[in-house]
Amino acid sequence: MNIDMITASAERGAGQVRRTPLLNSPFIDDLAGRRVFVKAEALQHTGSFKYRGAWSALSALGHNALRAGVIAFSSGNHAQGIALAAKEHETTAVIVMPSDAPSLKIENTRALGAEVVLYDRAGEDRDEIGARLAKERGLTLVKPFDEPQVIAGQGTAGLEIAEQAAEFGVDAAEVLVCCGGGGLTSGIALALADRAPAMKVRPVEPVDFDDVTRSLASGQIERNEKTSGSLCDAIITPQPGQITFPLMQKLCGPGIVVPEEDCLRAMAVAFMRLKLVLEPGGAIAFAAALYHGDTLTSDPVIAVASGGNVDADIFRMALEKYGSDL
Amino acid sequence: MNIDMITASAERGAGQVRRTPLLNSPFIDDLAGRRVFVKAEALQHTGSFKYRGAWSALSALGHNALRAGVIAFSSGNHAQGIALAAKEHETTAVIVMPSDAPSLKIENTRALGAEVVLYDRAGEDRDEIGARLAKERGLTLVKPFDEPQVIAGQGTAGLEIAEQAAEFGVDAAEVLVCCGGGGLTSGIALALADRAPAMKVRPVEPVDFDDVTRSLASGQIERNEKTSGSLCDAIITPQPGQITFPLMQKLCGPGIVVPEEDCLRAMAVAFMRLKLVLEPGGAIAFAAALYHGDTLTSDPVIAVASGGNVDADIFRMALEKYGSDL
């Protein structure tokens, strides 16, 4: 993994991957007690950064592999990214999804033309299912994070952050990134190490799913005890990746662990002050910027708002609980 | 009014006015039955396009006028735009607002440092109140739409639409614009007449507040009978302006009239498919693209999503009614 893979991915994705804006608001700065910039990656195609990695992986395949089709396993956002990228590359996608994924994500994946195979998150191993189907049908498996071309694609968000922050005169900041398996986190960290070396990435995770934070602290890969039961469904993974963890270990500052409830509050703030729809997992880095300032050392901070694929009833709950506080 | 005023405004606003993205989604194209692009102006500073005109007007003032301060009358979005632009120009703003404006808009305007003076929309004349306060305190009145530098500022959105559409290979399209007094509509029409002459602006208004549509049809300025009582509070004005009407008459196609309920449905679609928060009036052009295709003649169409300053309870209602339809 190196910066050249990220710039090559950016070139392949030019005109296709959306350049999402870097937003700010005086109201948010007041609330956080420091300047905050938000990379609005929920505005990416399919509603999350996962489209970057998906486009990157598909566009890097050779002709025959592309024609044969791809397979992916995902709680939803990677699924939608792969489904749309496959459609745009005029090939087929099979998506292995947990049966408890939000219905919206399952429906969207199907509507984008993919074949969805559901599995039980607690009792079955998605890697095994994915490998078996890939072999049976001659499909190329596109892993959600521990895959070099996917990491390179997520890293293109880091290239944009460096450029857009420079337009605001910012070259040094902590960059808070929602972290599941570490694909986005390590990709952005790689890009910034080259383009904005005074920036430092901090992974942000939900309480009870802080495998990366603990792994960075202990110096070895740690697993989560729980594998489901969080509103932040998009960023729940058993453990950091074999490729992503060494990158994060080399490049990232300590992790930050945030309660779910803070994600709901941050969703209401993003609604009110940025006009941006975020899902709980996609709001967690923004929540860290707003409510966990004691763990931060820089001013400004940059928070990556990584996705917005939330069912209407959960969004309504966030507004009902916190929409009138502001 | 001419294109040079718009390009000069764009130069004064460079690095200050946000370049908002032009968004699209395959789900929306399917729903509308044609390609749809959405100019996401709700992502502008203060949550609406009005900041463009406000910054334009303030930045065009001479030193003494700027120091003395400004006054504006507004149902809310112009108010917030003027308040922030005044703060950034280190001067004071007095804002005359109707007492039935959404509480969020009144609170935001105060929080941005402006002095708010409330009036009764049915019984008092806001122009008279504004003129009296301006005279008493030596303030410069910045009208919400019938003011050349404000129209020039709104027109900068048109410059961006021409450039961004060209990146998608689009140079001909109907451009649907949410229309109150006609500042945004005439500004965009002026910009496009120069930069993308194959595009045609269509003003979009709510049922019962279709003064521009009727004025364009009759060839003279027509008034609305009602002056309040719409969810689309941001685009309710008594009649088109003396400056904006002749521009719209020369440059625009026929108006489109849309029921309020369609705006709520369009808000749910923008939530789900674009991750964008829109207010009812800010969603009306997008609603026309989605639900009034019979009145449109082009494919693609471009809809300007002009603002997102909506109270949480109204947004929740839109999601409750229409969030599960999609």
Determine contact, residues B25/B164, Cβ cutoff 8 Å.
no
Measured CA to CA in angstroms, residue B114 lies from A273, B66, B97, B284 at distances of 18, 15, 11, 29
> For residue B140, what pLDDT is reported?
95
- Supply the pLDDT for residue A229: 81
Q: Say yes or no to pLDDT of B233 above 70.
A: yes
Task: Name the pLDDT band for B325 (thresholds 50, 70, 90).
Answer: low
* pLDDT for residue A187 is more than 70: yes
Give the integer Cα–Cα distance in Å for A299 and B82.
27
Supply the pLDDT for residue B125. 84
> Is B193 at the interface with chain A, CB within 8 A?
no
The yes-or-no verdict on residue A108 having pLDDT over 80 is: yes
Distance of CA B194 to the CA centre of its chain: 21
**Looking at beta carbons, which residues of chain A come within 8 Å of B112?**
26
Q: How far apart are CA A278 and CA A38, in angstroms?
A: 12
Cα separation, B21 vs B14, in Å, equals 16
> Quick check: A123 contacting B, CB < 8 Å?
no
B26·A268 Cβ contact <8 A: no
Handedness of CA B136, B139, B142, B144 (dihedral sign): negative
pLDDT on residue A235 = 79
Using CA atoms, how far apart are residues B250 and B192, in angstroms rounded to an integer?
Answer: 13
pLDDT at B232: 84
How far, CA to CA in Å, does A260 sit from each of A223, A245, A279, A324, B159? 19, 24, 11, 19, 42
Q: Domains of chain B by range and CATH?
A: 3-48+148-322 (3.40.50.1100), 51-141 (3.40.50.1100)
**Is residue B326 predicted with pLDDT exceeding 80?**
no
Is the per-residue pLDDT at B318 higher than 90? yes
pLDDT at A27 over 70: yes
What is the 3-state composition of chain B as percent helix, strand, coil, each rounded to the nearest 5?
A: 50, 15, 35
d(CA A43, nearest CA chain B) in Å: 6
Pick the residue of A44, A275, A319 with the most B CBs within 10 A to test the interface with B by mutation: A275
* Residues A13, A156: Cα–Cα separation, whole Å: 9
User: Does residue B166 sit at the A interface (CB-CB below 8 Å)?
Assistant: no
What is the structure's pLDDT at A106? 87
Cα–Cα dist A29/B189, whole Å:
36
Cβ of B320 under 8 Å from any chain A Cβ? yes
Distance spanning both ends of chain B, measured CA to CA: 43
Contact A77, A307 (CB under 8 A): yes
pLDDT tens per residue, range B79-129: 899 999 999 999 999 999 888 877 877 888 999 999 999 999 888 888 888
Put simply, the answer to whether B23 touches A43 (Cβ < 8 Å) is: yes
Q: Of B21, B29, B31, B115, nearest to B291 (Cα)?
A: B31
Question: Which residue of chain B is at minimal alpha-carbon distance from A269?
Answer: B312
Residue B113 in contact with partner chain A when CB distance is under 8 A: no
Q: Which residue has the tokens 């049922």?
A: B207
Distance between A15 CA and the closest CA of chain B, angstroms = 8
From the CA of A298, how many Å to the nearest CA of chain B?
23
* Residue B184 backbone zone (phi > 0: left; psi -120 to 50: alpha; other: beta): alpha
Distance CA B1, CA B241 (A): 14
Across the interface, of A47, A84, A275, the residue whose CB is closest to B277 is: A275
Residues 6+ apart with CB under 8 A from A128: none
Q: What are phi and psi of A305, to 5 degrees?
A: -100, 95
Q: Using the beta-carbon criterion (under 8 Å), do A23 and B40 form an inter-chain contact?
A: no
Pick the closest to residue A119 from A84, A180, A75, A181 (CA basis). Answer: A75
- Quickly list DSSP for B55-111: HHHHHTS-HHHHHH-EEEE-SSHHHHHHHHHHHHTT--EEEEEETTS-HHHHHHHHH
SS3 B302: strand
B191, B199, B113: which is closest to B153 by C-alpha?
B191
- Verify whether the Cβ–Cβ distance A21 to B21 is below 8 Å: yes
Residue A42 Cα to chain centre, angstroms = 9
On whether the CB atoms of residues A57 and A142 are closer than 8 A, the answer is yes
For residue A319, what is the nearest residue in chain B, using CA coordinates? Answer: B312
- Among B185, B112, B173, B176, CA closest to B146: B185
Q: Average pLDDT in the A98-125 region?
A: 87
Token couple for A51: 């489209």
Dihedral angle computed from the Cα positions of residues B22, A81, B312 and B76, in that order, rounded to the nearest 10 degrees: -10
Q: What is the DSSP letter of B147?
A: S
Distance from CA of A40 to the nearest CA of B (A): 10
Is pLDDT at A102 greater than 90 in this prediction? Answer: no
Count of pairs with CB atoms under 8 A, one residue in A, one in B: 86
pLDDT for B73 = 85
Tokens representing residue B260 in the block = 């309020």
Can you give the pLDDT at residue A281? Answer: 96
Find the mean pLDDT for residues A194-211.
Answer: 97
What is the rounded average pLDDT for all residues in chain A? 94
Q: Does B77 touch chain A (CB under 8 A)?
A: no
SS (H, E, C) A174-186: EEEEECCCCHHHH
Could you tell me the two tokens for A186?
């390590």
Q: Could you say which of A43, A87, A268 has the minimum Cβ distance to residue B275?
A: A43
Q: Is A218 on the interface with B (CB under 8 A)?
A: no
Across the interface, of B26, B308, B319, the residue whose CB is closest to A316 is: B319
Residue-wise pLDDT for A289-322, tens only, equals 999 999 999 999 999 999 999 989 999 999 999 9
| Residue A326 reports pLDDT greater than 80 | no
Q: What angle (nearest 5°) sits at the alpha carbon of residue A24, between those of residues B20 and A299?
A: 145
The answer to whether B268 contacts A40, with C-beta atoms less than 8 Å apart, is no
Q: Which of A18, A87, A277 sits opposite B276 (nearest CB)?
A: A277
Mean pLDDT score, B11-38: 97
Nearest residue of A to residue B324 by CA position? A312
B275 to chain A: which residues are within 8 Å by CB? Answer: 42-43, 47, 276-278, 308
B304 pLDDT band, cuts 50/70/90, is very high
Q: Which among B22, B24, B28 has a CA at the least distance from the CA of B287?
A: B28
Query: What are the angstrom distances between the C-alpha of B205 and each of B117, B248, B259?
Result: 28, 14, 9
Give the chain A residue nearest B270 (alpha carbons).
Answer: A277
Determine which helix (DSSP H) or strand (DSSP E) holds B246, and give its type and residue range.
Answer: helix B244-251
- Tell me, rounded to whole angstroms, the distance of Cα B91 from its chain centroid: 24
Confidence category of residue A325, pLDDT binned at 50, 70, 90: low
Helices marked H in A60-143 — which ranges? 63-68, 77-88, 103-111, 126-137
- By three-state DSSP, how is residue A307 classified? strand
Of the candidates A47, A34, A37, the one whose C-alpha atom is nearest the C-alpha of residue A307 is A47
Residue from the list B45, B104, B323 with its beta carbon closest to the beta carbon of A312 = B323
Q: Is B14 exposed, middle or buried (0-12, 13-18, 19+ CB in 10 A)?
A: exposed
